[in-house]
Amino acid sequence: MRIRNFAGVLSEPEFRKSEISMEKLKFTKMQGIGNDYVYLYGMGDALGDIPQLARIISDRHFGVGSDGLILIDPSDEADFRMRMFNADGSESPMCGNGSRCVGKYVYDKGYTHKTEIKLETAAGIKLLTLFPEKGEVKRVKVDMGEPELRSDRIPVAFEGEQVVNLPFRLREKIFYITCVSMGNPHAVLFVPEVREIEVKTLGPALELHPFFPRRTNIEFVEVISPVELKMRVWERGSGETFACGTGACASLVAAVLNGKSERKVTVHLLGGELEIEWGKDNHVYMTGGAEIVFEGEIQGEKMKKI
């Protein structure tokens, strides 16, 4: 097992204490407006089959129970690095709610005293601004970078393809979708009332539609007013979740492009609210809460096989 140097944050004896036993894996469960992940710190390359670990940990009956697994490590290019795995074990380049929780994690646990953090992700380096109160981070603002208008099909295939308000036939019905990438793919559909939507049937049908060879996240969005959107999400690899940060950003971008909202909105999700702004610099900014729910050690037969 290799343990990387934590830039002087952890002393040598502390390294030893954090040595990894798969049978008793220490974890932290966190949530960002109800989008819950299990967080592991400083595992570096020590983990074996990470997709399998993500599936076991995420299982709500046999595991800890979560929308997926997030790994936090020190980074050579930024302050920290985040990797995110869905409940089905697939890896996604970016996670908005997860990035806020990572900000809280590294600050509250004393891995940094900075309130401006650079976070390396597979979708580039994101800038986090932490808002601590009495030593604990309550809210985090993330510069999510520039949105891209694409469907995440094989790049050559979607050149010149219409991705805003694209008519899409599914089950004899025409839906209009707007495809926005926030580092990960999103298909946004505007609907009269999100409450009425059969997310659990429409979601997987769209996620697995051949139009999206890499599958997609789907957002069902109701426009309450030019400054308020209501959204439900079907996440690629995790199913319906209480919230999706990248999805809320994609929804705002889609709403602006379709002339339905201003550039700064509150997005209401099943698990709470996010403030989203598409700045004049073309970057999307997401602000919201982050919370530690509990910590523990996962034990169990399946862990021995990882």
Instruction: Provide the binding-site residues for ligand API, judged by CB under 6 A.
Output: 35, 86, 92, 95-98, 184, 217, 235-238, 241, 244-246
Least distance from C-beta 84 to ligand API, angstroms? 7
Q: Rounded CA gap, 221 and 108, in Å?
A: 34
Considering the complex, state which of residue 18 and residue 90 has its C-beta at the smaller distance from ligand API: 90
Least distance from C-beta 34 to ligand API, angstroms? 10
Please give, one letter per residue, the 3-state secondary structure of 262-275.
Answer: CCEEEEEECCEEEE
Least distance from C-beta 18 to ligand API, angstroms? 27
| 236 labeled part of a ligand binding site | yes
Least distance from C-beta 172 to ligand API, angstroms? 28
| 97 labeled part of a ligand binding site | yes
| 165 labeled part of a ligand binding site | no
Q: Rounded CA gap, 182 and 252, in Å?
A: 11
| 235 labeled part of a ligand binding site | yes
At 50, which helix (H) or strand (E)?
helix 50-58
| 258 labeled part of a ligand binding site | no
Considering the complex, state which of residue 10 and residue 248 has its C-beta at the smaller distance from ligand API: 248
Q: Which amino acid is at 121?
A: T
The token pair at 14 is 């502390």
- Note whether 104 and 121 are within 8 A (CB): no
Q: Rounded CA gap, 183 and 145, in Å?
A: 9
Q: Rounded CA gap, 103 and 143, in Å?
A: 12
Considering the complex, state which of residue 267 and residue 303 has its C-beta at the smaller distance from ligand API: 267
Q: Judging by beta carbons within 10 Å of its beta carbon (0-12, 13-18, 19+), is residue 124 exposed, middle or buried?
A: middle
Catalytic residues: 95, 244
Considering the complex, state which of residue 102 and residue 303 has its C-beta at the smaller distance from ligand API: 102
Binding-site residue positions: 35, 86, 96-97, 184, 217, 235-236, 245-246
Binding-site residue positions for substrate: 35, 86, 96-97, 184, 217, 235-236, 245-246
